[in-house]
Homo-oligomer: A and B are copies of this chain.
C-alpha cells in the first residue's frame, strides 16, 4: 500500500472556536470559559488526547485479531498536565505542551496474560499517534498573510 494522506481544513469562527472539516465530517473545537471560550466543543488538547486513545483502540484490536485473540472489553484513559505560562506568554520556563502523558489501558480478552502483554507491546510500536507523540515530527509551514487595505 502506498502512503495515505490525511487532512483537515478549517476556519476560525471566533478567537477560540474553530470548525474542522475532514472528508464528510466536521467537528467544532472551542475552549471552556476559564480559557476564554464559550465551551461549544472539546478543546484542542482534549481532541489530541482523544485521537491517541482512538488510535490505540484501532491498533490494539488489529494486533489482537492477528493473534486470534478476542477483545472482550477495552477502556482507555489519557491525561496530562500543561503549564499554561508559555501559552499565555507570562514565562518561558516550561515547555508549551503536555509535559508528559499518562495512559491507562484496561484490556480484557479470551487469551492469557502473556498474550495480552504481547498485544499491548506491539500496539504501542505500531500506533501512528504514539509515534508522533513520542518522537519529533517536522512541520512545514506555508503562511499567507494579508494586511488590511484600509
Contacts and interface: CB of A to CB of B under 8 A. Distances in A.
Interface in A42-75: 42-55, 57-63, 65-66, 71-75
Binding site of A, secondary structure by majority: helix, strand, loop or mixed?
mixed
Given A54-B47, A103-B142, A128-B98, A116 B9 contact: no
**Count of this chain's copies in the oligomeric assembly:** 2
Contacts of A10: 50, 53-54, 57, 75-77
Interface residues of A, number: 121
Contact of A147 (B102, B103, B116): B116
Interface of A: 1, 3-12, 14-18, 20, 22-25, 27, 29, 31-32, 35-36, 39, 41-55, 57-63, 65-66, 71-89, 95-113, 115-117, 120, 122, 124-148, 150
B4 A100 contact: no
A9 B77 contact: yes
A50 to B, nearest CB: 4
A81 B5 CA distance: 4
